[in-house]
Amino acid sequence: MSALRDAQGPFFGEFGGRFMPESLIAAIDELTACYESAKVDPAFHAEFAELLRSYAGRPSPITEVPRFAAHAGGARIFLKREDLNHTGAH
What is the reported pLDDT for 26? 94
What is the reported pLDDT for 22? 87
| Tens of each residue's pLDDT in the chain, 90 residues | 445 555 566 666 666 666 788 899 999 999 999 999 999 999 999 999 988 887 777 777 788 999 999 998 889 999 987 776 767 655
Domain ranges in the chain are 19-55, 59-90
Distance CA 67, CA 52 (A): 31
What is the reported pLDDT for 1? 40
DSSP, residue by residue, 44-65: HHHHHHHHHHHTS--SPPEEE-
What is the reported pLDDT for 47? 94
b or e along 49-60 (b: 16 or more beta carbons within 10 Å of the residue's beta carbon)? eeeeeeeebeee
What is the reported pLDDT for 58? 72
Distance CA 46, CA 33 (A): 20
> pTM (2 decimals)?
0.48
